[in-house]
Structure 1
Amino acid sequence: MTTETTQTAVSNDHSVPAPVEVPPVGEEINLDASENYFNRELSQLQFNYRVLKQALDTTHPLINRLIFSCIFSSNMDEFFEIRVAGLRQQIKYGRETVGVDGMLHEQVLAEISRVAHEYIHEQYDILNNVLIPELERENIHFVRRREWTPAQAEWVRNYFDEEILPVVSPIGLDPSHPFPRLVNKSLNFIVELDGKDAFGRETGMAIVPAPRSLPRLVRLPDDVCDGGDNLVFLSSMIHAHADELFPGMEVKGCYQFRLTRNADLELEDDLVDLASALRGELLSRRFGDGVRLEVADNCPEELMHFLLREFGLTERDLYQVHGPVNLTRLLAVGSLVDRPDLTYSSFSPSIPRQIRSKESMFDAIRKRPLLLLHPYENFSPVVDLLRQSAKDPQVLAIRQTLYRTGADSEIVEALADAARRGKEVTAVIELRARFSEAENLELASRLQEAGVIVVYGVVGYKTHAKMILIVRREEGRLRRYVHLGTGNYHAGNARLYTDYSFMTCDESIGDDVNKLFQQLTGMGKALKIKKLFHAPFTLHNRLISLIERETSHGKNGRIIFKFNALTEPQMIKALYRASQAGVQIDLIIRGICCLRPGVPGLSENIRVRSIIGRFLEHTRVYYYDNHGQPDVYCSSADGMERNLLSRIETAFPIEEPALLARLRDDLEAYLADNCQSWVLQPDGSYIQNQPAEGEERLASQLVLLDRLTAKLN
């Protein structure tokens, strides 16, 4: 299924584990041995690094390469806010345990610091020495203070006086003005002062939080520039006029810094009111314990140590950067600069012929099941299904799970419309969808006001399954229509993430989904499910039992899994045993992979690849060949403990021969990829595939774009 490729070692040897020790022939391998597993956090870091490497890939347009660097920053922010913060919490409260990889939390934190420092140093090197010079050649300029012309300097002064000065709040540090409580990831400045203020105070130091209401990057007007696109940082403006914040005093130095805090939410399992508890926790997220300090590299050492002491951090947590402390804000370049020639070409997601000519989604789904692959195929049929359901007098009830939807969601409007028209509408809203909690609380209120029955799922088990159930009266009987997906009901994500949508009126699947909603909204014993696998009850065991069945086929066995992460030890062990039996296994894993592939006697029949490209790979597919009679499941669940054992998840079968063939073709495209794919090595490093000499370049996402969409330009 794979084409011959060459592999180019473009990944650094960061976070590479110890060399693999091959046991003597005949000696049984201990599947529990720590050397057979990679560390979860370090594997996550390597995924972030593969994203950063896209900034150097000239097959991507220049502005998108800059955006990849920004995505790396955003990923690193979340990594520190959640993963590093979690490790520190475990140590703080004495809950440290050893994972299957055998590393103690303190060891992991030390290695994270070493690797993250290298990655972030490389990121700024790419920005300063590659991306900015290339943008300059395209007449896009980040105008530094020393480069301002008199006209630009005058414009900046006016902007400072009119936009910044009225909202900025400098804070001198003295006994009555202790160090302020700074918001998570906010831009701040530490200022060295000389002299006395109006009250005779001689503090010597102040903190200036940058106004959060102002953009971090501002476009200079064309009439003060000599052509091109000219951008200036808010930080440069504050630096240039810091003395105006402290009249009569000398500003000896002004230096950027940014604190990353613990942003995870801790909720007790015995809550009386989840929504109220969550509202309280959201307020504390902005002011959790510090986990990382980023400081401009020209900041004096004594000031850096002062900040570290204030935040309870050590030098291990200090990141000195040569440039803006928050590169995520450079995402604004895409909207401030009108250069379509430097961004991805537009495309039009297609709509399958099956529904293109039909006014009724119900008629189309009754004819045969429908499988869509977003973003190549349009998300609109999912919205249309709900809109038609809201207006259709034959529809009696709608039930849906909502994890992330977006602030202005057509799906939410359709549910509200259905409720206002008198239909029974139930929404199971997962309030704890990370970083979407506030949005989901607002969403719940809006739906309740429209008459929707809102349920918050099951405390202790995130509702991650993506399900819609529509009950419709047809010819004197009730028929159930179902949508199941691998991704969220978020139209924006559907343009950026690859996900499957499956629509069917199969009676057994409809009955299964109905039972799952009964479990979510009511109480009682787990009900018997016919076709779906569902966590936390059957999903884990059934996926592993199918691996074991494939293991019994030996060298005739074949497994292909595609998902975002693989960490669950029992699944990894089952795959090791399958490999030892001769089963050929391909794992397409975007991010974290704790399985060690290619080890003789253990996993020589397992290959792991990560696809990184224009779209975020998000589909989850479990493919078991079963002697040419494949069992294939799409799922909302990754191969992680939390998905398989402690969340509400589903895996749904794809049984229609035409849809099975289509899924197989999609997987073939990923396995044939010879330029966007990175192959995991036995030592833990990743190597990017490159076409062999004379071989055609095959980028899986481009193959799918050509196959499924109509390009606009």
Structure 2
Amino acid sequence: MSSLPTTPASESSASLENDPASTLRINHTHAGIRARAAANASRDLDDAGLYFNRELSTLRFHIRVLEQALDDTHPLLERLKFLLIFSSNLDEFFEIRVAGLKRRIAYGNEESGMDGHSSSSIFQEITSTAHEQVERQYHILNTRLIPALAERGIHFLRRNSWNKSQREWVRTYFDDEIMPVVSPIGLDPSHPFPRLVNKSLNFIVELEGRDAFGREGGMAIIPAPRSLPRLIRLPQELEREGCQEYVFLSSMIHAHAEQLFPGMTVRGCYQFRLTRNADLAMDTEDVSDLASALKSELLARRYGDGVRLEVANNCPAHLSDFLLKQFKLEQEDLYLVDGPVNLSRLMAMIGDSERADLRYTPFVPGLPKALRKDESLFDMISRQDILLLHPWESFGVIENWLAEAARDPGVLAIKQTLYRTGFESGVVSALVDAARSGKEVTVVIELRARFDEADNIALASRLQEAGANVIYGVMAYKTHAKMLHIVRREAGQIRHYAHMGTGNYHSKTAKLYTDYSLLTARETLCEDVHHVFQQLSGMGEPRHTEHLLHAPFTLHRRLVELIDRETAHARKGRKAMLTVKCNSLTEPKLIQALYRASQAGVLCQLIIRGTCCLRPGVPGISDNITVRSVVGRFLEHTRVFHFHNAGKSETWCSSADFMERNMFQRVETCFPLLDRKIAQRVRKDLDTYMLDNCQSWTLQPDGHYEKRCPGKDEAAISAQETLLYAYAARP
């Protein structure tokens, strides 16, 4: 993907704090920006022109994901995977963001946000962009990826290319696997239009003739069985030598649709898919049992109002118009696609493929030197703080630590938050074992983690059956903090241990997302974690924390203060800089604090993966702010905040993004890295991201993102590859 350094990241990239070029830029800022800042001092920082729209910024991130499908530095199947991820991302974008816009428009709520745009104008721009990008997506699939895969022996066979043996096999598969489970629905007064499940694959069929009851043919709907795969691999004996050959379920149904309507003629069969509003709108004030209320809401989610209709592009207009009318949608909500309407379901094929040569080179997560010993994790953590950077360093350390705690007779209590995790994960199994062995286990489960609600309800039941105390958090606030607290008796004394992280306790996503994990026995940090757990499980005033910042109480206020402190240093002529790395930046007061910092001459380096409402490069306002987004093999998920503080630097990690919901509507934690070496390591990791010129996109003042590329005499640097080289082991 890129040329790798010959030394680890911790040695290869000089810290920007000691970089002469960085100092020169700051000095230049003091000389040049103060005059412009004075000229713009009267400009209101609430000016709508200083902000990008949140929904449009989110859509631009999804487009950056789609761009990866064109990047031939990624292996071929990984490029296909990016294209499918774009489909999945767009599904959720319509289910939540577009659904919310349509709801506001329907209720006449055109009130503009901080960007000054009305709901209707944003919806129109989203619609135009989404149509363009979906057309582009299928063009990439059909003209770039499918031909390239065919050259490498992976074929998706259309009906007109089946040979005799393949047609016979398809016929048998249809008779044995599809016919028994499919239920076609003829449309007439006694069979009204069916209520179709959100994002399900369906077919609209045009019929001619009379059925067994003498009814004239018209239209019918065929819901594709959700239990069947959307892509089926042919038996090996029917494949060409050295090839993998697949048939779409939709092709099988198209080829044999007339078998579902004996005695009638199928004039046309066209696939379609409806995307519905999937946001849960639950009035928490009237809920006495959150789990029961959520179960009811989850059933309703499958049948929310329609927001988007995808139809095969060969479908006649009178049929697509009929569908739009049934779902109460407008022409602008119709997306005509040149291929399968449910692309994200093809992800299973990538996982099942035997072509390792078309996937990323595997690696083995590494371990810090402090953990490369055959001794108790408690002993190692008691000696020093340990930081892990997933996925390059093993998430298994946390699972193993919990498993050890479950077995350890000295462990008295375990408390943990769970936002997203697997039902059968090692973390859950260890908590179950600990509860069954008689330890005091308390788990704060956030049932309302979007699209994981059903799994979390089942997880809560499993833990309760094992004897754990399960708390659903605080009704009006989602518990998003990532915390683990262990109480252990050692030599007659009580000792506390804690884990805090930027990501979820989920072993699968820990292999795909970048996240930091801090394991510590520091008394003050552990006491802070203990206080937050007490506040979650009990009632009363906010508990004082020595080091932790805690949303919705102290986090937002303190972050503004830390930015303002950097601003004050700059105004006194001191070197001033900050780096923020998070997933999204939307909260107005934090953005305004960054604008004030830029005006004062603070070098503001923002690494924002997705949504960013801050507009960089505005003369006299934000021309000392850079915003970049890194999109690559792993999903960037670390939240890290670094402040130079006149040489007394502070580095923080957090579960929270710079968003309103994280600051005011969620329980979040932000923890300082008190170990000097660990803090220095994280700062050097940040420097590596700032040097990325392979997978980094720079936000421009007009809102578009420009891909960074190595210059003529510049070495190619991929931050993710560099960190993999530095921290991971080799297979």
TM-score w.r.t. length of structure 1: 0.96
SS in 1 for 2:539: coil
2:271 aligns with one of 245, 253, 256: 256
Residue in 2 aligned with 1:675?
A: 694
Residue in 2 aligned with 1:126?
A: 140
- Tell whether 2:77 aligns with 1:63: yes
CA distance in 2, matches of 1:439, 1:622: 32
CA distance in 1, matches of 2:314, 2:95: 25
2:598 aligns with one of 554, 561, 579: 579
CA distance in 2, matches of 1:203, 1:37: 56
2:479 aligns with one of 460, 463, 488: 463
State whether residues 446 and 480 of structure 2, in contact with CA within 8 Å, keep that contact through their aligned partners in structure 1.
yes
Alignment of 1:213-232 (within 5 A): 213-227=227-241, 228-232=243-247
Residue in 2 aligned with 1:76?
A: 90
**Equivalent position amino acid for 2:158 in 1:** R
SS in 1 for 2:621: coil
> How many residue pairs get matched?
696
- Tell whether 2:129 aligns with 1:115: yes
State whether residues 40 and 620 of structure 2, in contact with CA within 8 Å, keep that contact through their aligned partners in structure 1.
no
CA distance in 2, matches of 1:97, 1:387: 52
Deviation (angstroms), 1:67: 0.3
1:660 aligns with one of 676, 679, 683: 679
CA distance in 2, matches of 1:678, 1:140: 32
RMSD: 1.5
For residues 228-250 of structure 1, what are the alpha-carbon distances to aligned partners after superposition, in whole Å with 9 as ceiling and x for unaligned? 11001000000000011101111
Change (3 A) 1:209 1:23: farther
Change (3 A) 1:23 1:252: farther
Residue in 2 aligned with 1:472?
A: 488
SS in 1 for 2:627: strand
For residues 142-198 of structure 1, what are the alpha-carbon distances to aligned partners after superposition, in whole Å with 9 as ceiling and x for unaligned? 000000001100000000000000100000000000000000000000000011111
**Equivalent position amino acid for 2:267 in 1:** K
CA distance in 2, matches of 1:66, 1:107: 33
For residues 37-62 of structure 1, what are the alpha-carbon distances to aligned partners after superposition, in whole Å with 9 as ceiling and x for unaligned? 00000000000000000000000000
TM-score w.r.t. length of structure 2: 0.94
The percentage of aligned residue pairs carrying the same residue is 59
Residue in 1 aligned with 2:421?
A: 405
For residues 523-554 of structure 1, what are the alpha-carbon distances to aligned partners after superposition, in whole Å with 9 as ceiling and x for unaligned? 11111111000000000000010000000111
1:238 aligns with one of 253, 259, 262: 253
Alignment of 1:168-179 (within 5 A): 168-179=182-193
State whether residues 566 and 592 of structure 1, in contact with CA within 8 Å, keep that contact through their aligned partners in structure 2.
yes
State whether residues 358 and 364 of structure 1, in contact with CA within 8 Å, keep that contact through their aligned partners in structure 2.
no
For residues 78-111 of structure 1, what are the alpha-carbon distances to aligned partners after superposition, in whole Å with 9 as ceiling and x for unaligned? 0000111111222333444321001111111111
For residues 428-447 of structure 1, what are the alpha-carbon distances to aligned partners after superposition, in whole Å with 9 as ceiling and x for unaligned? 00000011000000000000
Residue in 2 aligned with 1:295?
A: 311
Alignment of 1:217-366 (within 5 A): 217-227=231-241, 228-270=243-285, 271-366=287-382
Residue in 2 aligned with 1:439?
A: 455
Deviation (angstroms), 1:332: 2.1
State whether residues 557 and 627 of structure 1, in contact with CA within 8 Å, keep that contact through their aligned partners in structure 2.
yes
2:56 aligns with one of 35, 42, 55: 42
Q: Which moved more, 1:264-273 or 1:57-66?
A: 264-273
State whether residues 4 and 692 of structure 1, in contact with CA within 8 Å, keep that contact through their aligned partners in structure 2.
no
- Tell whether 2:195 aligns with 1:151: no
CA distance in 2, matches of 1:567, 1:558: 21
State whether residues 37 and 599 of structure 2, in contact with CA within 8 Å, keep that contact through their aligned partners in structure 1.
no
SS in 2 for 1:553: helix
For residues 603-628 of structure 1, what are the alpha-carbon distances to aligned partners after superposition, in whole Å with 9 as ceiling and x for unaligned? 00000000000000000001111112
Deviation (angstroms), 1:304: 0.5
State whether residues 219 and 336 of structure 1, in contact with CA within 8 Å, keep that contact through their aligned partners in structure 2.
no
SS in 2 for 1:586: strand
Residue in 1 aligned with 2:611?
A: 592
Q: Which moved more, 1:44-53 or 1:218-227?
A: 218-227
State whether residues 444 and 454 of structure 1, in contact with CA within 8 Å, keep that contact through their aligned partners in structure 2.
yes
**Equivalent position amino acid for 1:703 in 2:** T
Residue in 2 aligned with 1:613?
A: 632
CA distance in 1, matches of 2:52, 2:190: 50
SS in 1 for 2:284: coil
**Equivalent position amino acid for 1:489 in 2:** Y
Residue in 2 aligned with 1:533?
A: 549
Q: Which moved more, 1:202-211 or 1:576-585?
A: 202-211
State whether residues 547 and 575 of structure 1, in contact with CA within 8 Å, keep that contact through their aligned partners in structure 2.
yes
SS in 2 for 1:571: helix
State whether residues 29 and 601 of structure 1, in contact with CA within 8 Å, keep that contact through their aligned partners in structure 2.
no
- Tell whether 2:221 aligns with 1:202: no
**Equivalent position amino acid for 1:473 in 2:** R
- Tell whether 2:516 aligns with 1:500: yes
Residue in 1 aligned with 2:663?
A: 644
State whether residues 192 and 252 of structure 1, in contact with CA within 8 Å, keep that contact through their aligned partners in structure 2.
yes
**Equivalent position amino acid for 1:50 in 2:** R
CA distance in 1, matches of 2:86, 2:92: 10
SS in 1 for 2:645: coil
SS in 1 for 2:82: helix
SS in 2 for 1:299: coil
SS in 2 for 1:349: coil
2:179 aligns with one of 162, 165, 180: 165
CA distance in 1, matches of 2:84, 2:679: 37
Deviation (angstroms), 1:645: 1.0
- Tell whether 2:113 aligns with 1:102: no
Residue in 1 aligned with 2:104?
A: 90
CA distance in 1, matches of 2:97, 2:415: 34
CA distance in 1, matches of 2:217, 2:451: 38
CA distance in 1, matches of 2:362, 2:334: 41
1:627 aligns with one of 640, 643, 646: 646
Change (3 A) 1:533 1:26: closer
**Equivalent position amino acid for 1:702 in 2:** E
- Tell whether 2:562 aligns with 1:543: no
Deviation (angstroms), 1:353: 1.6
State whether residues 503 and 516 of structure 2, in contact with CA within 8 Å, keep that contact through their aligned partners in structure 1.
yes
Deviation (angstroms), 1:418: 0.7
Residue in 2 aligned with 1:19?
A: none
- Tell whether 2:470 aligns with 1:454: yes
State whether residues 40 and 592 of structure 1, in contact with CA within 8 Å, keep that contact through their aligned partners in structure 2.
yes
**Equivalent position amino acid for 1:255 in 2:** Y
Change (3 A) 1:566 1:63: same
State whether residues 503 and 515 of structure 2, in contact with CA within 8 Å, keep that contact through their aligned partners in structure 1.
yes
